Structure 1
Amino acid sequence: MSINPKLLKDLSERRKTAELAGGKDKLEKRKTKGQLSARERLKALFDHGEFQEFGQHAAHSCHRFGLKDKKLPGDGVVCGAGFVDGRPVAAFSQDFTVGGGALGRIHAKKICDLMDYAHDTGIPVVSVNDSGGARIQEGVDSLSGYGQVFYKNVFLSGVVPQVAIIAGPCAGGAAYSPALADFIIMTQKNANMFICGPGVIKAATGENASLEQFATASAHASVAGNIHIVADDDKHAIELASELLSFLPSNNISDPPHNLDANWEIPHDTRMNDVVPDTNKMPLDTHEVISYLVDEAHFFEIMGAFAPNIITGFARIGGLVVGIIGNNPKVKAGTLDIDSSDKGARFIRTCNIYNIPIVNLVDVPGFMPGLAQERGGIIRHGAKMLFAYASATVPKITLIMRKAYGGAYLAMCSADMGADVVYAWPTAEIAVMGAEGAVGVLFKKELAEAKDPAKRTAELVEEYHDEFASPYQAAANAMITDVIEPAETRSKIAQALRLTLSKRDTRPPKKHGNIPL
């Protein structure tokens, strides 16, 4: 006895139909635009191009408004699970060649079922978004489908990593599922994301706005701050997603993929001594500091184009995965403003969710002054940094490189805000404000009467620094752990990270704190 050949033939034909998706012509058209098909995107993500597909034979059941007897292979989305660099991952890829990748009831159910699978097995979810939006023909069922997907996004948030790729149109309600993910990668070409298109904006407000102004990867990365990473094309986006996952644990109760066998007894690096500029008038290059600090000088920056006065990203130090947050004095003098506070706070909380130690590189003169900042709510936004650091229970290592003034000193994770180890270079200045500003306030009358105001100012600045702002003064008051030579930085931080890996920090039972959003 053997299986009926007709059944095998039927299975083969159904699989071919799923592979062809919207048809050869549509697939070829995508290739001319440099786009991969939905299925090719998943094959590019998973090891050896192999994955267990979920719902290949699922199909819509709507027979109204032009969909009667119309074939929608897979209902416009390919779902599956496989391995990425040997670690299990779930992923779905919307298929624009099938009904424009529009979301309907079965389309949404496939995504939700896959997300439930990811939750139950504790594995990350990667989504490739390429959809015309809601399937109008299914009416309220499509809106219900979006609601179910959003609910699952939130249900999984803080449990397993969610990485969204925008590789085509992502309009209206479709934009909110990626927005609820931990990270968004968007391709430079062929992709756009918006709530209201140019036509709707024109009709509602009278404004003339092109997609290039608000819907492209460049606009979202540098102006709106909606996305985290810009990719050249589909292939590059998949590569970036894979690399990003290499820094993240599979779920919130797992450790990041540390390499505990790596050598963390690191010799001093005298190049770090040369990073410090000759005078305080010259900005320090924090990116250069990071390149000397991390393993193989490899730093995976997150949101590099948005609020560049603060730097965020992942790396390894002595084999351990870390999140790095550093002020960037080359942009806005490294001050904290509304956007950089939002960017920093979100990154801190992401690291805390996934048990990733945080390394803070401090050179901050304060919060950004100005009417626009005050009216824009800098108090509320700056408080997010304070809240994020104080509530984070992962190891926190802080290095004060130069300036650490006022409230911004606290907002960059001082010992009082929960840093486990605080190092300072001899060039560090820790004070309510800079020495020159403080002298101008405290000795205004004396300087006005001095025979040589410039000379007297210089003398007072030196005295103020030694008495109030010196790193040794801070060390004497147990505000920092140690003053170190810059050349020792990588060795000291690598050691501190190893020593704090066993950290346990419990908090009072509560649903969650009330972060000032």
Structure 2
Amino acid sequence: MSPTTTEKPAPPANTMHDKINELYSRRAALHECGGAERVAKQHKAGKLSARERVDALLDEGSFQEQYGFARHRCTYFGMADKELPADGVVTGCGTINGRLVHLASQDFTVAGGAAGEVHSDKVVAMMSASLKTGSPFVFVNDSGGARIQEGIDSLAAYGRVFYHNTLLSGVVPQISLICGPCAGGAAYSPALTDFIIQTKHAQMFITGPGVIKQVTGQDVSADELGGAAAHMAYSGVVHFIADNDQHAAQICQKLLGLLPSNNMDDPPIVGNANEVRLEPALREVLPENARVGYDMHAVISQLVDDGDFLEVQAQYAENLIVGFGRVLGKTVGIIANQPNFKAGCLDIDASDKGARFIRFCNAFNIPLVTLVDVPGFMPGVEQEYGGIIRHGAKLLFAYSAATVPKITVILRKAYGGAYVAMCAKDLGADRVAAWPTAEIAVMGAEGATDIVFRKELASAEDKVAKRAELAEVYRSTFSNPYVAAGRGMVDDVIDPAETRRYVALSLASLRMKRDVRPAKKHGLIPL
């Protein structure tokens, strides 16, 4: 017999080592996005890549990518052999300040970030995961729109995104970052989310400048039509404007830090939860002349912890201020008239802005603090024709339906229906305090005098002097908080310096407030 051979057999192909090398090679291809040239072009335009945006948003090392190797199934128009890394959208989960979020970041370097069937289904998967885990959903938009080669499949997938936006609404916070183009049907997903942060490099519109030129003959640039400044000033679509992608990530991080992860949680408590102090500076805020305006931000900065206030829609409907701050470490939503703009009157845009903010706070267990200095609803034919009645009713509805703690402080003017609309006691306010300067009446003294004292004025020889005299009579009767306090419409009259203390103690006493309204599916907010 011949001796047995001792030669080792050749190793089989595709060993574990080879497969691991292939894995890392495929991962590297994903991280190259659409290639170095396209990424450089993105940087030249002042924008980050999709993955750089994820890194800017999340805590370092926390990102867990999901569906990175998903591949489109389109075979039309030369798509069968096209490799689109991650199908043009990076999806996964990670943490922001240690708290879980799910996110999707569209990749403009891959097919212009166009959304096809698989692309949108990846987004939907992250939204479903947010719903399952009770974590916020963040969607970074930078896309040329629907992937035309996929036709109706891409449209159907958009529909699934919109549907899930609605499922998530009121359950987990949804934040959209607009960091590039967001056109056509794609714009409706951000519109269905809670907050939109748009950078100065981005545009968002349903029909672009070309279509508008063709149909109406109007010439308009993309920035004029759908830039961040246009949406903040005119449409009210955008809630925050960011200088660039990094700034947008910072705003998103700060906003999420003020919000609960879902509707079953309370917002996180941050800072000193025991400090209650007087704020003497509040005694100096109001001008001596009640007709002179002032900046309500001066009051808000003394009310919230460390003067730190995140204003929402700061350049839209500036006659009403809304935003988030903390009082003794606990998040509150603040709604305040702004006497420096339109004298703080309520109008169509302010009513819509306030109602939406109130409903968000109520959905996510954030107490409401309302600061009142309102002379009334804005008069005028344009306002009436525009539907101030139904728009103003939204504010009434939102306050009435809100079951979170509601604290109202009346600083100066509180006239007519606008007094009620700014969360009066009879609209469900749990606590109402008034400064000694508060004027609670159906209308101002001058206007009331012409109605109440019509006969006296008609018979007076010196009508100017008589009107001034009678106006002072009306003012001394109603232009103070004590009549309202005597009727129980005001719980207490406070020194302005006590405002922060009053709000803090009220919040503490209302911490266990329960919804005592009868059960029903929902009411119907005015449109």
TM-score with structure 2 length normalisation? Answer: 0.96
Equivalent in 231, 236, 240 of residue 225 of structure 1: 236
- Which residue pairs with 1:247 in the alignment? 258
Q: CA deviation at 1:502?
A: 1.1
The one-letter amino acid of 2:509's match is: L
Q: Map of 1:491-506 to 2, 5 A cutoff?
A: 491-506=501-516
Note if 1:295 corresponds to 2:279: no
Q: How far, CA to CA, are the matches of 1:485 and 1:285 in structure 2?
A: 19
Equivalent in 124, 130, 135 of residue 118 of structure 1: 130
Q: Map of 1:390-401 to 2, 5 A cutoff?
A: 390-401=400-411
Q: Is the Cα contact below 8 Å between 2:373 and 2:410 reproduced in 1?
A: yes
Note if 1:314 corresponds to 2:320: no
RMSD: 1.4
Note if 1:423 corresponds to 2:433: yes
- Which residue pairs with 1:462 in the alignment? 472
Q: CA deviation at 1:197?
A: 0.8
The one-letter amino acid of 2:493's match is: V
Q: Structure 2: 5+ residue runs without aligned partners?
A: 1-10
Q: CA deviation at 1:213?
A: 2.2
Q: How far, CA to CA, are the matches of 1:474 and 1:510 in structure 2?
A: 33
Q: How far, CA to CA, are the matches of 1:437 and 1:49 in structure 2?
A: 64
Equivalent in 426, 429, 440 of residue 450 of structure 2: 440
- Which residue pairs with 2:356 in the alignment? 346
The DSSP-based 3-state class of the residue aligned with 2:506 is helix
- Which residue pairs with 1:204 in the alignment? 215
Q: How far, CA to CA, are the matches of 2:388 and 2:460 in structure 1?
A: 38
The one-letter amino acid of 1:437's match is: G
Deviations 1:398-421 (A, max 9, x none): 000001001000100000000000
Q: How far, CA to CA, are the matches of 2:372 and 2:355 in structure 1?
A: 15
The DSSP-based 3-state class of the residue aligned with 1:47 is coil
Note if 1:25 corresponds to 2:27: no
- Which residue pairs with 2:142 in the alignment? 130
Deviations 1:288-328 (A, max 9, x none): 11111111011100000000000000001121100000000
- Which residue pairs with 2:387 in the alignment? 377
Q: Is the Cα contact below 8 Å between 1:272 and 1:292 reproduced in 2?
A: yes
Q: Map of 1:15-414 to 2, 5 A cutoff?
A: 15-189=27-201, 191-259=202-270, 262-266=273-277, 268-414=278-424
The one-letter amino acid of 1:164's match is: S
The DSSP-based 3-state class of the residue aligned with 1:304 is coil
Q: Is the Cα contact below 8 Å between 1:396 and 1:420 reproduced in 2?
A: yes
Deviation >4 Å, runs of 4+: none
The one-letter amino acid of 2:253's match is: S
The DSSP-based 3-state class of the residue aligned with 1:246 is helix
Q: Is the Cα contact below 8 Å between 1:42 and 1:49 reproduced in 2?
A: no
Deviations 1:92-124 (A, max 9, x none): 100000111111111011111111111000000
Q: How far, CA to CA, are the matches of 2:244 and 2:132 in structure 1?
A: 32
Q: CA deviation at 1:261?
A: 5.2
Q: CA deviation at 1:64?
A: 1.1
Q: Is the Cα contact below 8 Å between 2:34 and 2:85 reproduced in 1?
A: yes
Q: CA deviation at 1:264?
A: 3.7
Q: Is the Cα contact below 8 Å between 1:264 and 1:495 reproduced in 2?
A: no
Q: CA deviation at 1:3?
A: 6.1
Give the share of equivalent positions with the same residue, in percent.
Answer: 56
Q: How far, CA to CA, are the matches of 1:95 and 1:120 in structure 2?
A: 26
Structure label with greater radius of gyration: 2
Q: Structure 1: 5+ residue runs without aligned partners?
A: none
Q: Is the Cα contact below 8 Å between 1:309 and 1:335 reproduced in 2?
A: yes
Q: Is the Cα contact below 8 Å between 2:276 and 2:500 reproduced in 1?
A: no
Q: How far, CA to CA, are the matches of 2:361 and 2:325 in structure 1?
A: 12
Q: Is the Cα contact below 8 Å between 1:264 and 1:491 reproduced in 2?
A: no
Q: How far, CA to CA, are the matches of 1:225 and 1:232 in structure 2?
A: 18
Q: How far, CA to CA, are the matches of 1:26 and 1:468 in structure 2?
A: 68
Q: How far, CA to CA, are the matches of 2:409 and 2:275 in structure 1?
A: 18
The DSSP-based 3-state class of the residue aligned with 1:314 is strand
Q: Is the Cα contact below 8 Å between 2:293 and 2:339 reproduced in 1?
A: yes
Q: How far, CA to CA, are the matches of 2:62 and 2:43 in structure 1?
A: 21
- Which residue pairs with 1:512 in the alignment? 522
The one-letter amino acid of 1:162's match is: Q
Q: Is the Cα contact below 8 Å between 1:45 and 1:242 reproduced in 2?
A: yes
Q: How far, CA to CA, are the matches of 2:327 and 2:411 in structure 1?
A: 18
Q: How far, CA to CA, are the matches of 1:241 and 1:394 in structure 2?
A: 24
Q: How far, CA to CA, are the matches of 2:177 and 2:87 in structure 1?
A: 20
Q: Is the Cα contact below 8 Å between 1:342 and 1:385 reproduced in 2?
A: yes
> How many pairs align?
515
The DSSP-based 3-state class of the residue aligned with 2:43 is helix
The one-letter amino acid of 1:129's match is: N
Q: How far, CA to CA, are the matches of 1:259 and 1:194 in structure 2?
A: 38
The DSSP-based 3-state class of the residue aligned with 2:290 is coil
Q: How far, CA to CA, are the matches of 1:297 and 1:261 in structure 2?
A: 14
The 1:49/1:221 distance shift into structure 2, 3 A limit, reads: farther
Q: CA deviation at 1:170?
A: 0.2
Q: CA deviation at 1:469?
A: 3.7
The one-letter amino acid of 1:414's match is: A
